[in-house]
Each structure stands twice: as structure tokens, then as C-alpha cells.
């Protein structure tokens, strides 16, 4: 898939919501989606970061994006329904959601992880993606070809020591993907998958593997063919899959 060559207008006319859009893979995906014609709804808690991505998209000649400063750790049904309503009012449609926002503390033994940390990890990494998708379902169902992509994690797919609540939350996304894909099986215009990026040169990777040289792993841009493929029409038959960029 790294050799996938998307058409320049692959996402023309589409509206795609990206969470965690201010940094890392979310930022790279927002820029890539816009380059291929999408109007991107940028969501993150860092408003200054959103401003920067907004300016990059506009400077590159992409469709004018929309910005939604929002803290997923504080999400509830009412505010998410309001967010979905705002998307419908201002952008009129929704053809895709990329869940790239995440919460991570540090690599520590389970016995040192607290209840409060686990509650936040579950809320941001698992519960919020579920609840935001649920709130957006009416809009997504109106699209002739809608795609929801959850961002998984290697250590959630294959658990290992010290990843704790983060890995547990990310593993839950895989189960969520399979359940939802099964429930939506008859709705051939809406698909849900989980993409596992693997090791990528982001700030998260720097925190978890500080001794690994940056040039030893792919950049976020290197993985964009996967993101474009799953968000575009070429992946229309791919549903309920857990996909590793670097198996």
C-alpha cells in the first residue's frame, strides 16, 4: 500500500473530520486530505496548532478548512451532538472521520498506573472515538461513500509490558471496529476500519523510544498512502479490518 498512487482529486467534494489534527499523524493526514480535494474539519484541543494547520492548507491552495477547538477528555453526549449539528449546519455533509487524537502518559508498570490515568486513557482513546462516531452517524449515512478510520496501536494489537491502559484502550478500538462493521454490514455506503501506523517519527515515538534515531522510522508523510486509500473510494470494499501499515 505504500506504493498506492491516489488520484489528485481522490477526495474532491468530500468533507472529512480529523481529530488530533494539530500535530503528528492527524496534522499530516489533514494536509494530505486537503491536497487531494477534501474540505477538512480540524478538531483538536490546541487552538494555536489548529490555526497553523489551517494556514498551511490555505497557503497550499486547498479548500478552506473548518476549525473545532475541542477537548475530547471533557466530551459528553450533549456537546458531541452539538458538534455534529454544527458540522451539518456549516459544512452540509460528512464523508469521513479520522480518529487520530490520543492521550498517553508514559511507559510504566501496571502497579504504578492510577485509576484517574486509566479513566482519562479510556475516555480519550476509546470512549470519545465511539461517542463522536455515534453522534456523526446521521451525517455519515447521508454520504454515498463514507469511511471511519480509528487509529490503533501496535501494543494494543500485540500487548506487551508497560503499555498498560493505553494499550488496553487501543485494543478496544479493534473490538469496536469489528462489532460496528458487523452491525453496519447491510449499509454498503458506510465502512469502519482500524489502521495501526506502527513506529512513526512523531513526538509520541520520541517519548516511548527516546534512543531511536528519527531517521530509523518512517515519517508521518510516508504513511499517507494508507490514510488516503482508506478514506477514498478505492477502499470501498474494505470494512471491519484491522490494518497494520508496518506488519
Residue 107 burial (CB < 10 Å; 0-12/13-18/19+)?
A: middle
166 is catalytic: yes
Catalytic residue among 54, 166, 227, 229: 166
Question: How far is the C-alpha of 214 from the C-alpha of 50, rounded, in Å?
Answer: 24
Q: Coil, strand or helix: which one is 228?
A: helix
What are the φ and ψ backbone dihedral angles of 199, each rounded to 5 degrees? -65, 125
Q: Coil, strand or helix: which one is 182?
A: helix
Residue pair 169/211 in contact (Cβ under 8 Å)? The answer is: no
Catalytic amino acids? 166
Amino acid at each position: 500500500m505504500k506504493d498506492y498512487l491516489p488520484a489528485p482529486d481522490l477526495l474532491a467534494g468530500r468533507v472529512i473530520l480529523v481529530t488530533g489534527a494539530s500535530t503528528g499523524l492527524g496534522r499530516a493526514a489533514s494536509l494530505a486530505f486537503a491536497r487531494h480535494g477534501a474540505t477538512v474539519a480540524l478538531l483538536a484541543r490546541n487552538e494555536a496548532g489548529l490555526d497553523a494547520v489551517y494556514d498551511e492548507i490555505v497557503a497550499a491552495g486547498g479548500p478552506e478548512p473548518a476549525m473545532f477547538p475541542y477537548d475530547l477528555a471533557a466530551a459528553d453526549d450533549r456537546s458531541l451532538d452539538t458538534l455534529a449539528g454544527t458540522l451539518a449546519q456549516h459544512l452540509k455533509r460528512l464523508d469521513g472521520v479520522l480518529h487520530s487524537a490520543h492521550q498517553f502518559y508514559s511507559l510504566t508498570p501496571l502497579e504504578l498506573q492510577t485509576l484517574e490515568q486509566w479513566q482519562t486513557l479510556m475516555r480519550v482513546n476509546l470512549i470519545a472515538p465511539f461517542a463522536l462516531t455515534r453522534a456523526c452517524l446521521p451525517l455519515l449515512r447521508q454520504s454515498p461513500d463514507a469511511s471511519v478510520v480509528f487509529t490503533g496501536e501496535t501494543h494494543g494489537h500485540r500487548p506487551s509490558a508497560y503499555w498498560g491502559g493505553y494499550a488496553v484502550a487501543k485494543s478496544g478500538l479493534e473490538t469496536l471496529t469489528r462489532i460496528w462493521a458487523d452491525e453496519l454490514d447491510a449499509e454498503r455506503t458506510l465502512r469502519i476500519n482500524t489502521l495501526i501506523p506502527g513506529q512513526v517519527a512523531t513526538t509520541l515515538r520520541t517519548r516511548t523510544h527516546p534512543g531511536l534515531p528519527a531517521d530509523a522510522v518512517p515519517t508521518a508523510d510516508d504513511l499517507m498512502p494508507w490514510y488516503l486509500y482508506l478514506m477514498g473510494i478505492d477502499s470501498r470494499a474494505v470494512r471491519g479490518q484491522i490494518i497494520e501499515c508496518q506488519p
